[in-house]
Structure 1
Amino acid sequence: MTSPAARLRALLAQPKLHVMPCAYDALSAKLIEQAGFDLTFMTGFGASASRIGAPDLGLMSYGEVVDQARNIAAAVSIPVIGDGDTGYGNAMNVRRTVQGFARAGCAAVMIEDQLAPKRCGHTPGKAVVGRDEAADRIRAAVDARDEGADILILARTDARHDHGLGEAIERARLFAELGADILFVEAPRTESEMREICAATDAPNMANIVEGGETPDLPPEALEEIGYRIAAYPLTLMSAAMRAMVDVLEAMKQGRPRAGLMDFAELRRRVGFDDYYERSERYASSARPVTPAKEAG
């Protein structure tokens, strides 16, 4: 069986856009795979919200994040890209982060150039480190990959926010020269900016589509024509799930019928009960009660 990283490399070699709904836990990742998508991404926004009930403002530790990634990767067979944030320290911490995400089963890990504590890319207050420090992070990540971590490096820059598109593109070019496998220039504001980003290097680029965010929510066919290889949708599933939960809680509070629920049989199937019982039949003999032997005489 090929490794998650090898499967992701094969997907990126295809001259097409891969639509990538993002997962916030193991269950959402399973639903993404069941829907037929080729890959997923562990969204930091969603992971922080679901695991600790707090915003994505650098509150989760490295250990919590990599544990969440491990649970997600273990639940599916499609490649999972993990959110390694800023690498949780200096360049040596970045190396450890990359190695940890590889051991957790991730196909790739994202390392970004924000100041710690980082911010969600479409929220106020984010800032980036200098270009040299940003380069050191990606250099350390690439070194960890090349020294044995079976994982791809997704290099992200948030420089567009404070320093303009030109600086963001220069950083992306630098990251590509250092050996990053995938590039992610966060929060371009127009289709024209998105085209500039994709034209700047030959490396695969990822678009980040946040409903209500700064980047134009273009249809997949337009993103593919522009040149993107991956289109990430980090909040779509969490937003849909939260809306459904808020609505049904309000219905319960008012004593109204609980509408829009998944059928119990389908719920069990999607979680994995049917598969579990089918597989367990292989070992059914060990579950049968033992009949006491009759005494001789």
Structure 2
Amino acid sequence: MNMFTLSPAAKLRQLLDRPGILVMPGCHDALSARLCEMAGFETAFMSGFAVSASRLGLPDTGLISYAEILNQGQNICNSVSIPIWGDGDTGFGNAANIKRTVKGYAQAGFACIMLEDQVAPKRCGHTQGKSVVDRNEAFMRIQAAVDARNEGADILIMARTDARATHGIDEAIDRARIFDVIGADINFLEAPESTAEMERYCREVPGYKVANLIEYGKTPLLPHDQLEAMGYKVAVYPLTLLNASIVSMQASLNALKSGTAAPPILNFSELTRIVGFDEYYQSTERYRIDKFTDIQAAESGTNSHS
């Protein structure tokens, strides 16, 4: 069985089982996901921050709905063959809601869903004003997600804690450990603030661990080999593409407005290639209607000589 016949979750499990650290860019729409795949990345992460910004023009403060982010995820998953991780925020409600969310993400084509222990409405993990639910509710969320997976949802569960910012590193590590005991496939302690905290987390919590790396955020941006040596399995860069696209768009708009030289821009033929015109033209050729007239004529000629 090759990678093309596996489900998204099975593809991701294979990637996680391989030696070495897995570097994962963030995406926010079908085009950015397609660019990740074209660049050779084997997986990508749909960031809730980036989707809220790009789809709604609003901050990551729990304003985007389940239906909106699920729809965005369906478009992203359908645009690529690589496994996509999806930001599931707090699960959008109680245990029943969480199970529905997990099943919905699996049906949409996600390989993994991330669920966190923030109070709803949640907010970006590197911003101010966060608060987390108590331990029992945090553990209930992950148990509901694990149950949905065990009941047939073909998806991995990534359990995230934001308790570092509110209760300190000891509480965050304790929660992460129990997430692993409950059965989460992947573990994520958000926003450790030093290399020492990152090392301690990796040392004290078993299983696959994710380093969330945001430019100018709270967590040190360490080289991949150093992260791997610590014990991280995945290095995710959720906002790099969103950041880069904003900078490029602002530069282009300023150039247009001022009449100065524009920044480097794609040749139109390259743009059409990236968005899929080549594949579209191949498809239209294959299904060209007059082609079937030729086939029928050839078949008639064969039959008349038999």
- With normalisation by structure 1, the TM-score equals 0.95
Does residue 183 (structure 1) correspond to residue 180 (structure 2)? The answer is no
Aligned to 2:98: 94
Q: 1:251 aligns with which of 242, 251, 255?
A: 255
User: What stretches of structure 1 move > 6 A for 4+ residues in a row?
Assistant: 287-290
Structure 2 letter corresponding to 1:216: P
Q: State how far apart, in whole Å, the 2-side matches of 1:200 and 1:286 are.
A: 67
1:112 aligned to 2:147? no
| 1:11 aligns to 2:15 (yes or no) | yes
Alpha-carbon distance between aligned partners in 2 of 1:287 and 1:195, rounded to the nearest angstrom: 63
Q: Answer with 80-89 or 254-263: which moved more.
A: 254-263
Aligned length: 290
- SS of the equivalent of 1:32 reads helix
Q: C-alpha root-mean-square deviation of aligned residues, in Å?
A: 1.3
Counterpart position of 2:301:
none
Residue 203 of structure 2 is aligned to residue 199 of structure 1: yes
- In percent, how many aligned pairs have the same letter? 55
TM-score normalized with structure 2 length: 0.93
Give the counterpart letter for 2:123 in structure 1: R
Separation (CA, whole Å) in 1 of partners of 2:26 and 2:59? 17
Gaps spanning 5+ residues in structure 2: where?
Answer: 295-306
> Which residue of 163, 169, 176 corresponds with 1:159?
163
Could you tell me how far apart the structure 1 residues matched to 2:89 and 2:80 are?
22
- Which SS does the other structure have where 2:280 is aligned? helix
Contact 2:36-2:44 within 8 A present in 1 as well: yes
* Cα drift, residue 259 of structure 1: 2.3
Amino acid at match of 1:156: R
Q: Secondary structure at the match of 2:77?
A: helix
Deviations 1:142-183 (A, max 9, x none): 000000100000000000001011100110110000000000
Task: Report the secondary structure of 2:53's partner residue.
Answer: helix
Shift of 1:271: 0.7
Deviation, structure 1 residue 286: 4.5
Whole-Å separation in 2 of the counterparts to 1:149 and 1:286: 45
1:59 alignment counterpart: 63
Q: What residue in structure 1 maps to residue 84 of structure 2?
A: 80
Partner of 1:32: 36
Q: Give yes or no for contact 2:118–2:162 (8 Å, CA) kept in 1.
A: yes
Structure 1: which 5+ runs fail to align? 291-297
Quote the residue 1:232 is aligned against: 236
SS in 1 for 2:18: coil
Q: Which amino acid aligns with 2:273?
A: R
Secondary structure of the structure 1 residue equivalent to 2:168: helix
1:21 alignment partner in structure 2: 25
Could you tell me how far 1:92 is from its partner in structure 2?
A: 1.1
8 Å CA contact retained: 2:23, 2:236: yes
Counterparts of 1:222 and 1:22, CA distance in 2:
21
- Cα distance in 2 between the residues matched to 1:78 and 1:203: 23
Q: Aligned partners of 1:58 and 1:288: how far apart in 2? A: 53
- Find 2:144's aligned residue among 140, 146, 149: 140
What CA deviation, in whole Å up to 9, does each residue of 1:166-211 have, x standing for no partner? 1001101100000000000000011111111111232100000000
Partner of 2:91, secondary structure, is coil
1:287 Cα deviation (Å)?
Answer: 7.3
Shift of residue 219 of structure 1? 1.2
Aligned to 1:216: 220
1:25-45 residue CA offsets vs partner (Å, 9 max, x unmatched): 110000000000010010011
SS of alignment partner, residue 205 of structure 1: strand
Cα distance between partner residues in 1 of 2:120 and 2:52:
16
Amino acid paired to 2:116 = E
How far 1:258 moved relative to its partner?
2.0
